[in-house]
A and B are shown apart, each in its own frame.
Chain A
Amino acid sequence: MTASVDQSSDTELTVGGRTFRSRLMVGTGKYSDNQTMIDAIDASRAEVVTVAVRRVDLDRTKDEGILYHLDLEKYFLLANTAGCYTADEAVRYARLAREAGFNEFIKLEVIGDQETLLPDTRDLLEASKILADEGFKVMAYTNDDLITALRLEDAGCAAVMPLASPIGSGLGLLNPYHIREIKRRLSVPVIVDAGVGTASDACATMEQGVDGILMNTAIAEAQNPVAMGRAMGLAVEAGRLAYLAGRMPKREIAVPSSPTHGLLD
């Protein structure tokens, strides 16, 4: 008998004491229209959706807030600090986000460079400590550096979110070894955030054993975001299952799959 390997044998993703039904988390930015966003997120079966904190447009020239479009019974809102370049700014945005009254979770981003959007890990660490001390469940967007990841865990982060590649680049998983090392060494969940471009990237990332993936552009900028949303949901499940199943060893030689006996003379 072969062992039954299905998702019922997997543990659920738990971050900061809260359990989520999907290992895929998705952003809500860059969609051409709100209905496409809603349909794509629905197709992805993600539960956690990220949102940004911005000034209300008092002239009403742009669209109204996203809360008018999302079914809050269905989704868990994860506010981010996107656009912040210092620890002080990120802490200010996180406090404003918490005051909206949904939850204590914050996807903490402190950007260090406009061209690459790579994180400023010094200020990220500083902001993580301040916010964790204030009771926030900090999910820290960071680079694929093990030492920074360890320090973020020590600072009290609820999850560490190393990038696959730069935000919005779609370059896929550039350094699987670093991601595996971060996952191997940390106790808190490791959720890869940013850089996946298509379903195979998501699958390959989950096959490293990480706890989840957060993505936005790969779905929002696909030619058909709804189809890509579903593809990403399936890829994350497939990659997770493949990781749990345990892949066959790689060999440098061929091994026949059909019997070598019983061949005709």
Chain B
Amino acid sequence: MKITVNGDLRAVPDGLSLKGLLDTLELDSRMVVVEHNRTIVRRPELDSTNLADGDQIELVHFVGGG
């Protein structure tokens, strides 16, 4: 299936969870906040939230700013 992650289309295995996506991308879930189709997904729910074709994912973190 195809999902959009941070604006880019990506092919991922069917039924992948958000935690699985983070693992694939080698991201530490403690360092990232996940938005799934415009809804924030809390860390304990990342494992049980499965992705579907066409989903929109935003992965954000803190960067330097004023």
Q: A55-B7, A56-B27, A58-B25 are in contact. Are A96 and B64 (CB under 8 A)?
A: no
Q: How far is the CA of A65 from the CA of B33 in the complex (A)?
A: 12
Residue ID in chain A nearest B40 by CB atoms: A99
A52 lies within 8 A of B7 (CB): no
Q: Does A95 sit within 8 A of B, measured CB to CB?
A: yes
Q: Are B33 and A96 touching (Cβ within 8 A)? A: yes
A-B contact count (CB 8 A): 90
CB distance from A103 to the nearest CB of B (A): 12
A51 and B33 CA atoms in complex are apart in Å by: 14
Residue of A nearest to B10 (CB): A58
B21 to chain A, nearest CB (A): 11
Partner of B62, one of A30, A66, A167: A66
**Which B residues touch A31, using CB under 8 A?**
64
What string of 1s and 0s marks CB contacts (under 8 Å) between A62-85 and chain B?
000111100000000101101000
Minimum Cβ distance to chain A for residue B2 (Å): 15
Number of B residues near A (Cβ < 8 Å) is 22
Complex CA gap A167/B65 in Å reads 12
Residue of B nearest to A99 (CB): B33
How long is the Cα–Cα vector from A68 to B63 in the complex, in angstroms?
Answer: 10
Quick check: is A122 within 8 A (CB to CB) of the other chain?
Answer: no
Whether B59 contacts A80 by the Cβ 8 Å rule is: no
**Chain A contact residues (Cβ within 8 angstroms of B): what range?**
35 or more
Q: Which residues of B contact A194 (CB under 8 A)?
A: 66
A58-B5, A58-B25 are contacts. A50–B65 as well, Cβ < 8 Å? yes
Query: Is the beta-carbon distance between A167 and B66 smaller than 8 angstroms?
Result: yes
Contact B60 A55, beta carbon cutoff 8 Å: yes
- Output the least CB separation between B19 and chain A (Å): 15
Residue of B nearest to A216 (CB): B66
Inter-chain contact A66/B64, CB cutoff 8 Å: yes
Q: Is the CB of A96 within 8 A of B65?
A: no
**Set of chain B residues within 8 Å of A95, measured between Cβ atoms:** 40
A37-B64 Cα distance, complex, nearest whole Å? 9
Shortest Cβ distance from B38 into A: residue? A92
Contact yes or no, B40 A52, CB < 8 A: no
Does residue A29 face the partner (Cβ distance < 8 Å to B)?
A: yes
Cα separation A65 to B27 with both chains bound (whole Å): 11
Query: Does B32 sit at the interface, judged by CB under 8 A?
Result: yes
Q: What residues of A have a CB within 8 angstroms of the CB of B7 in the complex?
A: 55
Interface check A28, CB cutoff 8 A: yes
Q: Assess whether A53 is interfacial by the CB under 8 Å rule.
A: yes
In the complex, which of the residues A51, A96, A99, A101 contacts B63, with contact meaning CB atoms closer than 8 Å? A51
Residues on A close to B: CB < 8 A? 27-31, 37, 50-56, 58, 65-68, 77, 79-80, 82, 95-97, 99-101, 167-168, 194, 214-217
- 5 new A-B contacts at CB < 8 Å, known A56-B6, A80-B66: A31-B64, A56-B27, A58-B25, A65-B63, A97-B33
Q: List 3 A-B pairs, minimum CB-CB distance, nearest first.
A: A52-B65, A27-B66, A216-B66
